[in-house]
Structure 1
């Protein structure tokens, strides 16, 4: 049994971009898991309408 694993989870979220306004997109989280408990988020990214991968730091959750 592995103690430390890397787990990927995708969910739909509401994001805000200054140019586009409110944006509903699929956000993928890559998390480090120890004994089934998530410890920290290593990276999160989203895919644009054109298939380009972007980091989630470009979109704000608040206006």
Structure 2
């Protein structure tokens, strides 16, 4: 799995951080998403999918590795 984020669409809601704190964080100055790990371990896949589903603006894009 590979994760891409669109920071310009982020509203700083923080649902991604609550769902997958090992993968996502927020900037202190404005609360926008920070991607900690672009290719998470398989043990984080369920949490990352949940984070993507919870994102109110669809900022998180997931792609499968070939």
Q: TM-score range by the shorter chain?
A: under 0.3
More helix by share: 2
**Which has a greater percent of strand?**
1
